[in-house]
């Protein structure tokens, strides 16, 4: 079986080496990593083919390369949480906050809580799930049984209403639209 897999790899995968290298050079900015990427793609393809031969080897090769680059980009964005040196708690100034600043922070928090409580019910629920519980837009939509577009609209409306309240508007709820009565042409609030 090993010899058959090696023959398949040579005939179906290695024949695309030039195209693979050009693809990696076009998509990957760090030129010094191209050969490592190529080898890792080959290793992934070979391991996968040992389990089951792909029906479209060339497509599988390039899809594997694209997935590898995506994985590397994700890993490069992860921030290390390892300490950079000795951390002594004595260097942290906890009592640095003045009473005025502390009180101002409390007042701002109370104002935000008040504005949040005044949001329309569904809007408040969507904003809470998305911004506080940090669920994705899709997760919020699934949990509440609404479309992602509706989640977007509630978030936009909620953020606008919160900002309006925090920047001076008295009422967070959207004012009801005035309509014109067709019978007498007078404007009335709904």
Structure pTM?
A: 0.42
CA angle 111, 115, 117 (to 5 degrees): 115
* pLDDT at residue 95, rounded to an integer: 55
Q: Provide the 10 A C-beta neighbour count for residue 54.
A: 17
pLDDT in tens, the chain (190 residues): 688 889 999 999 999 999 999 999 998 888 898 999 999 999 999 999 999 999 999 999 999 999 999 988 888 776 655 555 555 555 555 556 667 777 777 787 788 888 888 899 999 999 889 888 888 889 999 999 999 999 999 999 988 988 888 777 554 444 444 444 444 555 544 4
Ramachandran angles phi, psi of 178, nearest 5°: -85, 135
The correct answer on CATH 3.40.50.720 for the domain covering 104-173 is no
Q: Token match 């694209």: residue?
A: 66
* pLDDT at residue 12, rounded to an integer: 92
Per domain, the residue ranges of the chain are 2-76, 104-173
Is 92 strand, coil or helix? Answer: coil
């Amino acid at each position: 079986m090993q010899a058959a897999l090696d023959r398949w790899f040579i005939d179906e995968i290695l024949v695309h080496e030039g195209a693979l290298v050009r693809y990696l050079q076009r998509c990957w900015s760090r030129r010094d990593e191209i050969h490592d990427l190529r080898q890792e793609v080959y290793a992934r393809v070979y391991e996968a083919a040992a389990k089951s031969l792909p029906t479209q080897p060339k497509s599988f090769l390039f899809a594997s390369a694209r997935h590898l680059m995506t994985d590397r980009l994700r890993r490069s964005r992860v921030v290390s949480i390892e300490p950079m040196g000795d951390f002594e708690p004595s260097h942290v100034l906890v009592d640095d906050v003045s009473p005025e600043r502390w009180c101002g922070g409390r007042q701002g928090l109370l104002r935000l809580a008040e504005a949040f409580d005044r949001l329309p019910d569904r809007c408040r629920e969507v904003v809470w799930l998305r911004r506080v519980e940090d669920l994705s837009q899709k997760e919020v939509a699934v949990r509440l049984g609404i479309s992602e577009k509706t989640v977007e609209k509630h978030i936009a409306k909620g953020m606008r209403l919160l900002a309006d309240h925090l920047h001076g508007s008295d009422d967070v709820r959207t004012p009801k639209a005035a309509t014109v009565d067709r019978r007498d042409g007078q404007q009335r609030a709904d």
